[in-house]
Amino acid sequence: IELEGRLREAIGADALELVFQPIHAVRPGLPLVGLEALLRWPQADGSVLSPGVFVPVAEQAGDLIEVLGEWVCRRVAIQRQQWRRQGLGVPLLSVNLSARQFDRAGVAERIRAAFAQGDPATAESSLPLLGIEFEITESVMMRDAQRAETELQCLRALGARVAIDDFGTGYSSLTYLKHLPIDRLKIDRAFVRDLADDDDDAAIVSAAVELAHRLGREAVAEGVECVRQLRLLHAMGCDAVQGYALARPLSALQADAYLRGSG
Ligand code: G
Ligand code: G
Ligand code: MN
Ligand code: NA
């Protein structure tokens, strides 16, 4: 309860932050193709709380996860507008969505409204979410597949792309992959970690890349920490990579410089 109250206050005071982790294409020169927005909550004592700690709290607290999710969308819209004003080319911006946000009808419309608040210019666009990707976990499909499909179609119609986050760690069947409008699979870092030393993990990652491609989707590997993993992922035909081997999550200021450097 205490954390919940403090989180509500922090959102109201804009005391949360977003950091941005680069995503690079597995092509010559490893070009920057995306930035994943990740929440951080700086504390008075100088420490920083991870969303792994406070997102579950928000999910248990009535409408708080929606308030938090809409804050993130607004902030991403504001940041995108700032980068554009600086003349920087903005790659695909990925935003994590909590499965719990899908429990309430009208998620897509709420997200659209939050983006329009952050960047009023997008309110007039017919594709206001062009250049935005939403990352959802497999559990979204488990809750109400029909509604998930409707909301995802709605986000797609607004120009957004959709990725399955933490692919391979959920409990859902593969049938949703066939029916849902999904652009790419993000292979969970649990499979990437021992990729170079564990034949089973290598088989799983390779099969996930193949599955994505056979279904006309892209594959992104998360948690890429070393060059050996990167080489294997390249050999497997993985489309994009994210992880400490490429870059850590960057503050907005660091991301400015990163965008300049790769522009
Ligand atoms: O950045 P870190 O490794 O601490 O992230 C921990 C978890 O929090 C990850 O599963 C990540 O997807 C999730 N997360 C990060 N940012 C957001 C966000 O803006 N919204 C939601 N719902 N989850 C987020
Ligand atoms: O669940 P999701 O994939 O959204 O989680 C993203 C989180 O993974 C981020 O919070 C980020 O801090 C973390 N992360 C990103 N790259 C790496 C990496 O190379 N190794 C590890 N261990 N964590 C990473
Ligand atoms: Mn993610
Ligand atoms: Na993930």
Decide whether any atom of ligand 1 lies within 6 Å of the 94 Cβ. Answer: no
Tell me, in angstroms, the distance from the centre of ligand 4 to residue 165's CA: 5
ipTM tops the 0.90 cut: yes
Q: What is the DSSP string of 49-62?
A: E-HHHHHHHHHTST
Ligand nearest to the CA of 249: 2
Neighbours of ion ligand 4 (CB under 5 A): 165-166, 222
- Closest residue by Cα to atom 4, ligand 1, is 50
Tell me what pLDDT residue 175 has.
Answer: 82
Distance 9 CA to ligand 3 centre (A): 25
> What DSSP string runs through 168-235?
TSS---THHHHHS---EEEE-HHHHTTTTT-HHHHHHHHHHHHHHHHTT-EEEE----SHHHHHHHHH
pLDDT, position 263: 56
Handedness of CA 103, 95, 61, 110 (dihedral sign): negative
Tell me how far the alpha carbon of residue 11 lies from the centroid of ligand 4, in angstroms: 24
Nearest residue (by CA) to ligand 2, atom 22, is 223
**Is 24 close to ligand 2, i.e. is its CB under 6 Å away?**
no
Per-residue model confidence (pLDDT) at position 180? 87
Whether ligand 2 lies within 6 angstroms of the CB of 225 is answered as: yes
Give the CA distances from residue 233 to residues 57, 195, 223, in Å, rounded to whole numbers and listed in that order: 35, 9, 12
CA of 222 relative to ligand 2 center, distance in Å: 7
Residue ranges of the chain whose pLDDT lies below 70: 1, 263
Task: Kindly report the protein residue whose alpha carbon is nearest to atom 15 of ligand 1.
Answer: 38
CB 206 within 8 A of CB 236: yes
* The predicted structure's pLDDT at residue 118: 97
pTM for the whole thing? 0.97
Q: What is the pLDDT of residue 146?
A: 86
The neighbouring-strand residues paired with 34 are 23, 92
Ligand 1 neighbourhood includes 38 CB (under 6 angstroms): yes
Q: Which atom of ligand 2 is nearest to the CA of 242?
A: 16
Q: Identify the helix (H) or strand (E) that includes residue 117.
A: helix 107-118
Tell me, what's the pLDDT at 83? 97
Kindly give the distance from the C-alpha atom of residue 134 to the centroid of ligand 3, in angstroms, as a whole number. Answer: 9
In short, whether 38's Cβ falls inside 6 Å of ligand 2 is yes
- Residue ranges and CATH numbers for the domains of the chain are 2-176+248-262 (3.20.20.450)
Please report the atom of ligand 1 found closest to the CA of residue 249: 1
Which atom of ligand 2 lies nearest, measured to the CA of 51? 10
Q: Is the CB of 93 under 6 A from ligand 1?
A: no
